[in-house]
Structure 1
Amino acid sequence: MEIDVRVSKMTPDQKAEILSTLRDLHGEPIPFHPLILVFSTGKVSSDECVPMLREPMPPTGAIFSKQITVLLREAVHINPSIHDGAIIFTRKTADDDYHLVSWSMRIISKTALADAVPNLGSAHNSALALSLAREVDCCCILSKGSVSFFERGSMHVEAKE
Structure 2
Amino acid sequence: MGARSVGIAGGPAKCAWLVSECGLDAAIDYKTGNLRDQLEKACPAGIDVFFDNVGGDTLQAAVDTMARFGRIVLCGQISGYTDSVPIPGPENMMRLIYGGITMQGFLLEHFEDDLAEGWHHLQSWLRNGSIVHREDVRAGFAAIPESFPALFDGTNAGTLMVTAD
Scaled by the length of structure 2, the TM-score of the pair is 0.23
Scaled by the length of structure 1, the TM-score of the pair is 0.23
- Higher normalized helix content (fraction of residues): 2
- Higher normalized strand content (fraction of residues): 1
